Amino acid sequence: MHKSWMTKSIILIAICSLFVLSACNNNTDNTVRVAEVTRSIFYAPQYVALSEGIFEKHGVNVELTTTWGGDKTMTTLLSDGADVALVGSETSIYVYAQGTSDPVINFAQLTQTDGTFLVSREEMEHFKWDDVRGSTFLGQRKGGMPQMAGEFVLKKKGIDPHNDMTLIQNIDFANIANAYASGKGDFVQLFEPTASIFEAQGLGHIVASFGKESGKIPYTVYMAKESFLNENNDAAARFTAAIYEAQLWVDTHSSEEIAKSIQPYFDDTELDLITTVVDRYKSQHSYATNPILDEEEWNNLQNIMDEAGELPKRVDHKTLVDTTFAEKAQQ
């Protein structure tokens, strides 16, 4: 099976980590270093936990770093540059497939749908998925969850993404929006708030949601090395309890209240736009209302990976998912 360059990068770090002694992770002050794959309104509960003092309430000191891309995020985690990664669950499967002695365990789910939207260069009041046929489509990186979920939806709509359109997916994650803004592609798959910003600026028009079409999947999950969870059980439990409280906060507050809470983490984005994006994600139930990653979602993830030709092997839910922290948080 052809592997993406992201997978190869993760494999290299995973192999190297077998020969390097990990630094002692015992955490006496409950500090948790988190590497997030990108800065996104899609992760609103996390920023609520920070801005509303929920982490502090649970005795956790969170140090947040944005690592911009799945490969960089997993590299940071595997090389002990972070304790916890917020990234797509597929990355834990890629690492496990290489036979690592310290697998990466998914322990708390944050989002439960795809977070991307289909943006058209032209306004399409009566968009049909068949309109994508024959177009130039600026997609996401091969092997990443956004691209795999996108291909899954296209195939469900009867479109072969590799034969029925010109698919471009060799552009770095951070540069996809700039490439589309400069004129590349007829359609593009974008996260918020970029999709709404493009619409406001007349650079594109949101015509469909991949999240609505792909169903529930463990799209963005907190994960850590098994050794970290074993050695820092209390910190992981406190962290998960804080995330659960923040998820409930988001579920029970208005989009306007959520937007005001998280605005400090998006100081270049207008409050009205943040509110619009939060409302869009809330309306399609993208924010998980509890941190449990269940078996049905895990299997759906692997079905999508398999459909994309990126699943190295099937992995049992209990092998790479630990729900004990999430279950304890709910109690």
- Provide block-wise average pLDDT over 10 residues at a time, the chain (331 residues): 49 46 53 96 98 98 95 96 97 95 98 97 96 96 90 96 95 90 96 93 96 94 98 98 98 98 96 97 97 97 94 97 98 92
Among residues 214, 246, 273, the one where a domain terminates is 214
Q: What is the CATH number of the domain that holds 177?
A: 3.40.190.10
Report d(CA 23, CA 159) in Å as an integer: 48
The answer to whether residues 231 and 318 belong to one domain is: yes
pTM for the model stands at: 0.88
The answer to whether residues 166 and 106 belong to one domain is: no
pLDDT, residue 28, reads 57
The answer to whether residues 221 and 326 belong to one domain is: yes
> Over the stretch 41-75, which tens digit does the pLDDT of each residue have?
999 999 999 999 999 999 999 999 999 888 999 99
pLDDT, residue 48, reads 98
pLDDT, residue 139, reads 92
> What integer best gives the mean pLDDT of the chain?
92
Contact between 44 and 262 under an 8 Å Cβ cutoff? The reply is yes
The answer to whether residues 92 and 189 belong to one domain is: no
Q: Domain containing 27: what range? A: 5-113+217-330
pLDDT, residue 18, reads 42
Among residues 214, 239, 274, the one where a domain terminates is 214
Report d(CA 102, CA 284) in Å as an integer: 36
Among residues 214, 245, 279, the one where a domain terminates is 214
- DSSP letter assigned to residue 173: G
